[in-house]
Amino acid sequence: MAPLPAASVLDLASVVPVVVVEELVDAVPLARALVAGGLPVIEVTLRTPVALDAIRAVADAVPDAVVGAGTLISPGQVSDALAAGARFLVSPGWTDVLLESMRASGVPFLPGVSTTSEVVALLERGVREMKFFPAQAAGGTAYLKSLSGPLPQARFCPTGGIGPANAPEYLALPNVGCVGGSWMLPADAIAARDWDRVEALARQASALSAGGTCR
């Protein structure tokens, strides 16, 4: 497996598509559309029966994609994701058991947090990069801005309720490295297998940054 082009998931791309693959046949063309649109870092969530096979298919067939596994909640899923070819790991929350499994994986990982105490606990354990989820429901940009003063060493990938309208606001924060979302993957486009539309939406998303210009 080739090393990541950056040491951190947060430094690979401004926007990370969060993908739910319902039909395995869609995995590769969907990933190719995202890569063509400038979004090569793809989080495939382990929410469907075909998710691991989808990661494996993308890892095998789309060499320009950096595919990872999301919605990890157990050490067994960490092992399965690595075996499928995941190059980074993301969890919606964390426990010490899950955290140690992710740490031992040897690939970059983002444990999920939504409170200040969770952030402090991870910093205490030597983890500085985290997923902030569910971002909008947990306080949004105002919450993250408040954290940047007392906890400047923590960096985040916010996901949950983020779209093209508010993504630049998140990316403008000093403690945000990237954002995750699925707005470039509308359900009707996936159902119609309209990969040209997905590519176009991905291209728009890849240009987002603070102020709405290319990052």
Give the tens place of pLDDT for each residue, 23-67: 999 999 999 999 999 999 999 999 999 999 999 999 999 999 999
* Residue 131 annotated as catalytic: yes
Give dist(CA 197, CA 9) in Å, integer.
Answer: 26
* Residue 23 annotated as catalytic: no
Cα 102 to chain centroid, rounded: 15
Strand boundaries in 41-151, DSSP class E: 41-45, 66-70, 89-90, 109-110, 112-113, 129-132
Of 23, 100, 129, 131, catalytic: 131
Of 43, 129, 169, 199, catalytic: 43
**pLDDT tens string 63-91:** 999 999 999 999 999 999 999 999 999 99
Q: What is the pTM of this model?
A: 0.94
Give dist(CA 174, CA 7) in Å, integer.
Answer: 18
